[in-house]
Structure 1
Amino acid sequence: MGKLTIVGLGPGEFEHMTIETIEKMKNADKLYLRTEKHPVVKYLKDMGLSFETFDKIYEMGSTFEEVYDNITREIIEIAEKCDNVVYAVPGNPLVAEKTVEYLLKFLNDSDDIKVEVVPAMSFVDVVVNELKIDPIYGLKIIDGLSLDSIKPDKRCNNLVTQVYNKRVASEVKLKLMDIYGDEFLVTVVKSAGVKGEQRIETMPLYEIDMIDWIDYLTSIFIPPAKGTFKSRYDIDDLLDIMAKLRGENGCPWDKEQDHSTLKKYLIEECYEVIDAIENNSDESLLEELGDVLLQVVFHSQIADERKAFDFHDVCDAECKKMIYRHPHVFGVEEIATSADVLKRWDEIKKDEKGFKSHTNELKSVPRSMPALIRGYKVQEKAAKVGFDWDNVDDAMAKVYEELNEFKEVYKGEDENDKIEELGDLIFAVVNVARFLKIDPEIAVHKTIEKFIQRFNYIEDAAEKSGHKLEDMTLSEMDSLWNEAKMNKFNKKAQK
């Protein structure tokens, strides 16, 4: 059986290497260094140690992943042929060392090669010492090349490694500025603990790619973002702000609210989002989405105070729902079209809710929805089981039928009859809209806007002719109304 011993060369100074590491290297049949680019290598040469490196592989690989994979495979091949191979890497073998990660993964179940990892001092130990920080209060270590998937934690210390050139520093800067803001102070650390080479400077985040002394031993230290006023905020900040508003010394109005009193604000904010979308205003959309998010946080805070659930429970439940309802993305099912996706979604939802009948599904459409939207959704669900007209002409015929029934009662004295027949007429119109794939809510909103514009034309025209609307007859106003319609027609014709 071959044996592979993995040792660490420490952060840079020869004194930081352990006696055990030195002894392992002295007694190796074969000694390999991942790279010769390390300050202690000159001491190894002075000791008369014979070794080989994998620097040549760096020149052949197009990506670091390819380089690390090739080094890993070569080490395994060597270890299979030799009894006592020592592989030395910078720092601690188990801290920010991809080749060791790959080796342990590949050799985990191997019966042919015995693996030993010797502890060593890492660059993190030296950085902590030089910056005088205690990691017990939180220290998150992140590979600078992994910032897309691993985000810094603004509430603790962060150390971003692998910032080995200005290009990487620029990419890291842009990602961090989205989290901390341009002016946030960070500390750039180069060659930590190496006498004569160490360099530590604190600077605004936007400057880190402007310095000319970045190299392969460079990291960026980011302290916690403290205080109420920050350049950039995140969801945790919003949760903290809401907790403070509801707290003992918070805002009297916020403290008085409950789920019921907030209902109207949630509805209003949702409509303002729709308005921002219809106006094609990204600025307004950003603001209004924030207001909707605030309502979610507000309700979650109130629920948390009741010991019912909190915001994190809301996120957890929604993530689980999305994963469960997308088996074609997160599971093994194959669904090709959007129509099939919606069908499967309904099946999963019905199973989740435990609906025992189709009527249960109709009843599940919230009564608090705007009536036109609720009617549309109820009709959609009924249509899925075949309770529907064959075509839009049949739906139109139903509109005329309901109109005639309304004509029979609208002058009568029975208010219930009027309400019922008018509701039937509107419901029939919604059905026509559904056949034509027209959102009735949007259609009515467009008509309202059109009405306001034409009314504005009437008022402006009356004012120009020296009249007030209150003094005009309906016939006179109707004439101006027709002018407004014609003006709109003429503009369309010109286009």
Structure 2
Amino acid sequence: MPTLTIAALSTPQTISVSALECCKNAKTLFVQTAQTPCVLPLVDAGLDFLSMDALYEQSSDFSALNEAISKTLLRACENGDVVYAVPGSTISRALMELSLKAQAQGICVNFISGAGFAQAALACALLGFDDYRVFAASALLEPINPGCCLAVEELDSSLAAGEVKLRLLEYYPAKHSVYFCMLKAEGSYTVLRIPLYELDRQRHYDAATVVIITPVAPLELERFGFDELLSIISKLRSPNGCPWDREQTHESLKKNLIEECYEALEAIDNKNDIALCEELGDVLLQCVLHAEIASEQGSFIARDITSTLVQKLIYRHPHVFNGASAPTPQAVTKRWEQLKKDEKRFLTHSDVLNAVPKNLPSLMRANKLQAKASQAGFDWDSPAPALDKLEEELLELKEALGGSGDIACELGDLLFAAVNVARLLGLEPEELLSKACDKFSLRFSQMEALAKSRGLQFIKLSLLEKDELWNEVKSTENSQK
């Protein structure tokens, strides 16, 4: 059985004895590229080797390149053992895929690991961190933690550096100092300390180029993520934090949550993206405050919230994550409701209705109750009979006003029937009433302004005079439509 050994050349100053001895004893030696100082120990040892540089020129992209390299090495293994020496370390997706292909063909695969470019650059920069993460420039994953050291390898062009810079600017200040590390011809690193915004403005880049980003304290950041938000709220609730935040409870924050949601809705209605961004932040603040309070009580933590949410989304979207079919929004809604019913273990349609929150705004609650009843087949086929019901409820209210009924009860039934008409017309009653309120407020303001323009004191006008002004404003409004 032939053996493919993948050996890490690391850098000329950090190559391991075992990697170098492996290359010296190789019957067939390939290097990933000869265009790097990393091969100097092989040259100094007088070794003959074949490089993959021609494949770099022939391949249209990295996927094609990796495929061509795999074919070359596997074909060479047909004639005996092969050593493949790579700059830096042996940790990469391409090498893992090569290993799997080789093993599938009955080839034994060995790895001789070594220090990567990042470790060598950190040593030359005299930077030592217990906690650091290493990424390739082409695989800089999120989320990034600005609180730990980050090393990005294979910064082989200004284009790659520019893409990395844009990703990093989502987390770090533009003027944050980073260490730009270039491998010199003799095999050691030159280290330049530069501001992050200059990362793609350097004179030289190659596959051994590394940028090291040192940690940033949370309060020194200009952009913040969810983890930083959790940290800030924890600080505010701590003994040395804010007295107001410390005394808040789930109950005391109820009104704040409602207010912030309504302010976000107003920003949406006003099509004000700047305000919406701020108001959504205020809604998120309420969520995180509740999470911190629960954490202090030992009930749950923020990650429990996100875990529950993600699990719910996956479970209720089998057409996305589990191969089920739901070709239309209507089919998605129907499946969602059924999955929710199964998840909550509802046994009857009454269970479904009773699960509608009682503290919803009444118009919204009425709409939801009617929609749930409709799923059980208790509904009209069109708005017309619902409108007849509305007229019936109006008649009953008039009778109650005449002394033959409960006025409050009949007025509630009238409102409930009006919601039903709106629902069957495909309209949201909460939004309809909100727009009606806006219209009333605007007309009232115009009516008062009209009186003032005519030298009239609005408060002293009779109801009939005010009504005439109202109709005038309404008539002007209709003529402008």
Picking from 112, 122, 126, the partner of 1:118 is 112
User: Which of 45, 48, 56 pairs up with 1:47?
Assistant: 45
How many residue pairs get aligned? The number is 481
Summarize deviations over 1:447-475 as a string: whole Å, max 9, x none.
11110111111211122222222211000
Residue aligning to 1:21? 19
Relative to structure 1, is the Cα distance of residues 46 and 219 closer, same or farther in structure 2, using a 3 angstrom cutoff? Answer: closer
Matches within 5 A, 1:99-248: 99-108=94-103, 110=105, 112-136=106-130, 138-147=131-140, 149-191=141-183, 195=186, 198-248=189-239
Structure 1 residues 61 and 459: CA distance shift in structure 2, 3 A? same
SS at 1:16 equivalent: coil
In structure 2, how many angstroms separate the alpha carbons of the residues matched to 1:408 and 1:88?
A: 95
- Mark the CA change 1:159 to 1:350 in structure 2 (over 3 Å): closer, same or farther: same
Q: CA deviation at 1:87?
A: 0.7
Distance 1:398 1:464, change over 3 A: same
User: 1:68·1:98 contact (CA, 8 Å) conserved in 2?
Assistant: no
Out of 424, 432, 445, which is 2:434 matched to? 445
Task: Give the whole-Å Cα distance in 2 for the aligned partners of 1:338 and 1:331.
Answer: 17
Which residue of 2 is the match for residue 60 of structure 1? 58
Name structure 1 gaps, 5 residues minimum: none
Q: 1:482 aligns with which of 468, 471, 475?
A: 471
Q: For 1:228, what is the secondary structure of its paired residue?
A: helix
- On the 8 A contact 2:170/2:223 being kept in 1, the answer is yes
How much has 1:196 moved relative to structure 2? 7.5
Q: Distance in 2 between matches of 1:6 and 1:249?
A: 55
* CA-CA distance at 1:222 after TM superposition: 1.1
Q: Is residue 3–residue 82 contact of structure 1 (8 Å, CA) maintained in 2?
A: no
Partner of 1:179, secondary structure, is: coil
Which of 404, 407, 412 is the aligned partner of 1:423? 412
Of 220-229 and 2-11, the range deviating more from structure 2:
220-229
User: What amino acid does structure 2 have at the position aligned with 1:238?
Assistant: L
TM-fit CA distance, 1:48: 2.6
**CA–CA distance in 1 between the matches of 2:137 and 2:16?**
28
| Alpha-carbon distance in 2 for matches of 1:239, 1:468 | 55
SS at match of 1:150: coil
What residue is the counterpart of 1:90 in the other structure?
87
Q: Is the contact between residue 140 and residue 152 of structure 1 (CA under 8 Å) also seen in structure 2?
A: no
* SS at structure 2 position matched to 1:313: helix
Q: Identity rate of aligned residues, in percent?
A: 38
**CA gap 1:184/1:63 in 2 versus in 1, 3 angstroms:** same
- Determine whether 1:459 maps to 2:448: yes
Match status 1:9 vs 2:9? yes
2:358 aligned residue:
367
| Secondary structure of the structure 1 residue equivalent to 2:6 | strand
Deviation of residue 395 (structure 1)?
0.5
- Alignment partner, residue 391 of structure 2: 400
Between the aligned partners of 1:106 and 1:292, the Cα distance in structure 2 is: 50
Give distance in 1, aligned partners of 2:404 and 2:411.
14
TM-superposed CA distance for 1:135, in Å, is: 3.8
For residues 178 and 405 of structure 1, the distance between their equivalents in structure 2, rounded to whole angstroms, comes to 62
The CA distance in 2 between the partners of 1:279 and 1:379, in whole Å, is 29
In the alignment, structure 2 segments of 5+ residues that lack a partner are none
TM-score by length of 1: 0.93
Please report how far the alpha carbon of residue 405 of structure 1 lies from its aligned counterpart in structure 2 after TM superposition: 0.6
> Does the CA-based 8 Å contact 1:9-1:89 persist in structure 2?
yes
Distance 1:376 1:8 in 2: 66
